[in-house]
Amino acid sequence: MAEKIATRAAYGKALEELAAQEPNLVVLDADLSGSTMTKGFGAEHPDRFFDMGIAEANMVGVAAGLATCGKKPFVNSFAMFAAGRAWEQVRNSVAYPGLNVKVVGSHGGLSVGEDGATHQCIEDLAIMRAIPNMTVLCPCDGNEMKQAVKALLAYDGPAYLRLGRLAVETVTDQVEGYEFQIGKGVLLRDGQDVTVVAVGMMVQMALTAADILAEEGISVRVIDMHTIKPLDTEILLAAARDTGCIVTSEEANIVGGLGSAVAEAVCESTPVPVVLTALWAAVSSAPAAAVSKPARAAVGRRLSTRTRDRKPASSRFFMACPP
């Protein structure tokens, strides 16, 4: 069985491993180092670790100042606070001037579980993606996370990195020649009938869904789109041409995140049916199923033409890839 590790744990290990290679790496935390997993870095490098207390906006401002002095700050809190409470400082003090600050939001999505609704940040991908100059990443497993942190340390510019709370299965280490590149999606599984573009822990679920659907004669291509901005349009549009329909899957609000980015890119040059599977948080008075019905029907018709058992094909697909 593949190793299971939370991406937040892999992130903490990556910081510790990279500290010796980059003396300008500094880490700031908002009184959550035990949860964001920056405590190990702090213990080993107390002169390069700053616990800013529960003052996220101030933390981002301090990080911006450190960046102007040549330091490479990684600022850490729960996604709700790193992306939410400190959004104005991220926008005005970091992104607009293009400063080399990495904003790290841990415990993103619903999977924070017992932390409760106030900490279940599902809007972070959308609001960070909307900021000019901001790069947005959400790695799917520990291996990818470690490589992402290394890539971000080498990248000169503002970026947002989402971490997960739960331990997840490592899948990218099974890809021959895997190498993380910012802005380049990863083909984890090839297929001809439909493409699932996923991010974060939904990548593992997409692979599971692909296995289930393979037994029903549906060939699913799975793309790990770890970088939501800038989006890899090359791998995406090739998938649109090859399979003729796309389903996106993310642990985030259905408005403005991965699904929106994919739909925007596809409609410009290679329009195909796109179904967004994500979270609906009172963004519309209409239920998700009704809003997405035309696209779901189009995907279902396409899959039905490729399977003998026509009508159940689409229902099996959407049961395997639930919203």
Residues identified as active-site: 56
Is the CB of residue 321 less than 8 Å from the CB of residue 209?
A: yes
Q: Residue 14 CB: number of other CB atoms within 10 A?
A: 21
Decide: residue 154, CB within 10 A, 0-12 exposed, 13-18 middle, 19+ buried: exposed
What are the helix (H) ranges across the chain?
A: 7-18, 33-36, 39-44, 56-68, 79, 87-89, 124-129, 142-154, 202-214, 233-243, 258-269, 288-291, 293-304, 310-320
What are the helix (H) ranges across 155-306?
A: 202-214, 233-243, 258-269, 288-291, 293-304
Cα 314 to Cα 302: distance, rounded to the nearest angstrom: 9
